[in-house]
């Protein structure tokens, strides 16, 4: 063993391996084209929000559903060929107005949220069990929650206007071998150096969270621990360590704190753009933490000065004003760090990016039925197993989808 080590050290000294380049990666993921006809005269995202499309999703890709209208389905246009599924709060038949459907956890009935939390814990537990080594697999799960006040035809509008979350595993070997992504890709600036919050209100943003939230399980994390070594992401986003690891996901207190982070984000975002819209606006009537908003935000010169800057630009530049997302758009994410620690983060601005891009992973999906067919058996085996666990825990009934 000593001779082998000496030879290896000599080889490394005379032929050093190239240093790993830190930065975002672009991963190519194949998919099988979907034979889905969009009615003539409809934009694709208009059809995707229809009850008919959701019915197609249930029958062709559905895995499990329950009386709470939570649907587990495989992502036909997925991000990962290793493990990739979603849960959607399928209110398509109950709420025909796409703009009236719940699009964030705070709008979901408590009884539904309890079931959803348990489903999250089961699926994340499965991923951590089957991919236990952070050096070999990136594990992530999170909400894709975009506000329903966006026009349906606006750029970046989600293809399905309902709250849904994602569960994904990426082999680290694939990410290391992937091509570098363009760091100027606008979707990668979410919460980074180009973010409005990060550039102008970094300190007050963190001070507000500290003042508003009373956390026990979630603990603020240092960037040098929470950022992935491969990509360097998340950029600029505050992260919280989940003390207790995976076991904490079965604790109702964790999910209350997870929701509290979202509530704090919503208060910050909505209060800021309220000041942008109307100088010296009153407190919004439905804040979660009105005391902290008044005490920290409305008394902070950086917060109010930045609102003035954006307001004046909106008055002078109609195209800029039209691009403002006046209501919150965000991603909230649970992911495993390099050392095996679980973290929570939430995006700081309104770019409609993919949830993977918060971690510096840009997925380029390409139509390739043959390549997808090679990945599909192993992928579906995992999805079948995880739905069996959900069914055994009385979290839904198995669907016989028609794939």
pLDDT digits (tens, 9 = 90+) for 200-230: 898 999 999 999 999 999 999 998 999 999 9
CA angle 350, 303, 328 (to 5 degrees): 25
339: pLDDT strictly greater than 80: yes
Q: Residues of the chain with pLDDT > 70: what percent?
A: 87
pLDDT score of 183: 81
What letter does residue 133 receive in the DSSP assignment?
Answer: -
10: pLDDT strictly greater than 80: no
pLDDT score of 9: 44
pLDDT score of 97: 83
What band does 146 get if pLDDT is binned at 50, 70 and 90? Answer: low
DSSP secondary structure string, 167-197? EEEEEHHHHHHSEEP-TT-GGGGTTSTT-HH
pLDDT score of 198: 79
Whole-number Å distance between alpha carbons of 351 and 374: 34
pLDDT score of 148: 52
What band does 12 get if pLDDT is binned at 50, 70 and 90? Answer: very low
pLDDT score of 273: 94
Token readout for 378 is 């192993």
Contacts 24+ apart (CB under 8 A), 41-50: 43/152, 43/153, 44/159, 45/152, 45/153, 45/157, 45/158, 45/159, 46/152, 46/153, 48/159, 48/160, 49/92, 49/98, 49/152, 49/159, 49/160, 49/161, 49/162, 50/92
Strands 62-65 and 70-74: antiparallel
Token readout for 216 is 């026990």
pLDDT score of 189: 61
Token readout for 290 is 């009105």
| CA-based nearest residue to 388, from 198, 122, 185 | 122
pLDDT score of 235: 81
- Among 118-132, 173-187, 255-269, name the one with the lowest average pLDDT: 173-187
364: pLDDT strictly greater than 70: yes
Cβ atoms within 10 A of the Cβ of 365, count? 15
Strands 397-398 and 361-367: unpaired
What does the pLDDT average to over 22-38?
Answer: 88
pTM of the predicted model over 0.75: yes
Whole-number Å distance between alpha carbons of 109 and 107: 7
**Domain boundary assignment for the chain:** 25-31+50-398
pLDDT score of 350: 53
What band does 331 get if pLDDT is binned at 50, 70 and 90? Answer: confident
On the 0-12 / 13-18 / 19+ scale of CB atoms within 10 A, 172 is middle
Cβ atoms of residues 30 and 371 within 8 Å:
yes
- Among 163-167, 185-189, 245-249, 265-269, name the one with the lowest average pLDDT: 185-189
pLDDT digits (tens, 9 = 90+) for 342-358: 999 998 755 556 789 88
Q: How many residues does the chain have?
A: 403
3-state DSSP assignment of residue 273: helix
Highest mean pLDDT among 30-44, 152-166, 254-268: 254-268
14: pLDDT strictly greater than 60: no
382: pLDDT strictly greater than 60: yes
- Among 11-20, 253-262, 386-395, name the one with the lowest average pLDDT: 11-20
| CA-based nearest residue to 188, from 347, 366, 45 | 347
| Mean confidence (pLDDT) of the chain | 87
Cβ atoms of residues 271 and 204 within 8 Å:
no
What letter does residue 20 receive in the DSSP assignment?
Answer: P
pLDDT score of 354: 75
Give the Å distances, CA to CA, from 147 to 96, 238, 273, 341.
17, 22, 14, 30
Whole-number Å distance between alpha carbons of 249 and 247: 5
Cβ atoms within 10 A of the Cβ of 141, count? 24
Whole-number Å distance between alpha carbons of 368 and 38: 21
pLDDT score of 54: 81
């Amino acid at each position: 063993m000593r001779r082998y080590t000496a030879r290896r050290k000599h080889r490394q000294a005379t032929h050093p391996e190239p240093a790993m380049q830190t930065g975002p990666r672009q991963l190519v993921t194949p998919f099988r084209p979907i034979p889905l006809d969009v009615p003539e005269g409809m934009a694709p995202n208009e059809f995707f929000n229809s009850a008919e499309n959701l019915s197609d999703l249930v029958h062709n890709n559905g895995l499990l559903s329950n009386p709470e209208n939570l649907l587990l389905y495989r992502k036909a246009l997925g991000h990962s060929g290793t493990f990739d599924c979603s849960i959607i709060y399928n209110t398509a038949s109950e709420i025909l107005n796409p703009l009236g459907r719940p699009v964030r956890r705070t709008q979901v009935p408590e009884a539904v949220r309890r079931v959803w939390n348990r489903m999250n814990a089961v699926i994340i537990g499965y991923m951590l069990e089957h991919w236990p080594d952070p050096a070999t697999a990136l594990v992530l799960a999170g909400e894709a929650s975009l506000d329903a006040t966006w026009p349906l035809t606006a750029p970046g509008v989600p293809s399905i206007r309902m709250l849904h979350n994602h569960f994904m595993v990426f082999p680290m070997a694939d990410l290391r071998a992937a091509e570098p992504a363009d760091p100027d890709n606008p979707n990668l600036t979410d919460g980074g150096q180009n973010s409005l919050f990060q550039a102008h209100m970094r300190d007050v943003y963190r001070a507000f969270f500290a003042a508003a939230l009373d956390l026990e399980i979630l603990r603020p994390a240092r960037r040098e621990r929470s950022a992935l070594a491969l990509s360097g992401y998340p950029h600029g986003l505050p992260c919280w360590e989940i003390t207790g690891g995976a076991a904490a996901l079965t604790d109702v207190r964790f999910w209350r704190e997870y929701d509290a982070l979202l509530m704090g984000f919503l208060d910050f975002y909505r209060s800021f753009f309220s000041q942008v819209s109307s100088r010296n606006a009153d407190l919004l009537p439905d804040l979660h933490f009105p005391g902290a908003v008044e005490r920290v935000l409305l008394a902070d010169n950086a917060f109010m000065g930045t609102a003035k800057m954006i307001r004046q630009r909106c008055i002078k530049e109609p195209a800029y004003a039209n691009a403002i997302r006046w209501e919150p758009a965000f991603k909230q994410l649970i992911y495993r760090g390099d050392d095996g620690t679980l973290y929570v983060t939430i995006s700081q601005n309104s770019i409609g990016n993919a949830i993977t891009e918060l971690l510096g992973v840009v997925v380029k999906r390409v139509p390739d039925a043959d390549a997808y067919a090679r990945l599909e058996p192993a992928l579906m085996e995992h999805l079948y197993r995880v739905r069996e666990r959900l069914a055994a825990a009385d979290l839904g009934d198995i669907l016989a989808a028609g794939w």
